Structure 1
Amino acid sequence: GPPSYETISKMQYLDMFLKESLRLHPVAPVGPGRTAQESSTVMGVHIPKGMSVRCNIYSIHMDPEHWGPPDPSLFCPERFTAERIAKRHPMAWLPFGAGPRNCIGIRFALMEAKMTLACLVKKFSVESCSETQIPLVHVAKSTVQPEKGVTVRLTRRNVMVNNTE
C-alpha cells in the first residue's frame, strides 16, 4: 500500500536526497529583503539604518567552506548525514529561510515531497533520456528555473499492486 508517515519518517536517505536537491536547486535563490532598523556593522561591513539587505541563498549553498569536499556543485546526499550537519553552521542551508520569519510550512513541505517521491519511485523508474538537459542550465529569474524544464523518462516497475490502489 501507500507509504505511511512513520515509514517516510524513517527513510533517512530520502531525506538526505531531498535536502541536497534543495541545496543545489533552491526554489528562491535570493531571500526576501529586510530593512535595517538601526545602523550596524556586520563582519566589517557597515549597514546604515533604512538599507535593504537580502541574503544570496544560492551563494551560501555553493560555499566550499560549508559544502566541500567534494566540490559543492556536485550532487552528494551524504552532505546531510547527522555527523556532517552537526559540524556545519546552522545557517548554511536556507531553502526555507531561517529564524523567526522562516517558512512555517517546512515540515509539511518536506513530508509532502518525500511522500510524493516515495510513491513515484515505488511504481516507476526515473531515467534520463535524450531530452534531459545535463547539467541543468538555470534561467536568471527570481526563482531557480531550468532553461528547458526537466524532462525524464518514467518506466513502470513490475511490482505486485493490490486492488485498492
Structure 2
Amino acid sequence: MKLNLKTIYFLLLIGLFTQACQVKWITDYDSKMVNEIVEVAQDVDSYYAKLLSLTDDNGEIQFTEEYPRKSFEAFYQDIDSDLYGIMLKNQSKSLNTFSTEISKSILQDYWRKYKGDLNSKETILQIHRNNFTKNFEALLKAEKAKNETN
C-alpha cells in the first residue's frame, strides 16, 4: 500500500486533532469542596453526638444548662446554611449532576426533614446519624472519583 503525502498529512492532522480535543463528562475535582464536605459532615456528626449524649435511660433528650435546646436550634441553622452552600456550589458547576443530587438530597430529604429531631428518641437519632454518614460518604466518593477520571 502506497501512502501519498496528502494521506500522511491527513492522518497526522487527525492524530493531532484527537489529542487536542478531549470530551469531558464530569466537572473537575475540587479539593476545597472535599474539605468543606468533611467539615460539614463533622458538624452534623457532632450535632448528633451531642444530642445522643443528652438522652436518658428512656431514650429521651434531656437538655441541660450547658446544652440548652436553643443552642441546638442555632447549631441546626448554621449547619443548614453550610449544607445549602455545598448544594449551591455543586449546582453552579457544569457536568456535576451526581454530586448536586446527593448534596440536594442531604439538605432536603434528610437535614430539613429531620429538623424535629430535638424531640426524637435515641434510636431515631442513631438511624438519622447513620443516614448522614452514608450520604456524606457517597458525596465524598463522588467528588474524589473526579480526581481519578480527570
State the TM-score, normalized to the length of structure 2.
0.27
Bigger Rg over Cα: 2
Higher relative contact order (CA 8 A, sep 6+): 2
Q: Which has the higher strand share?
A: 1
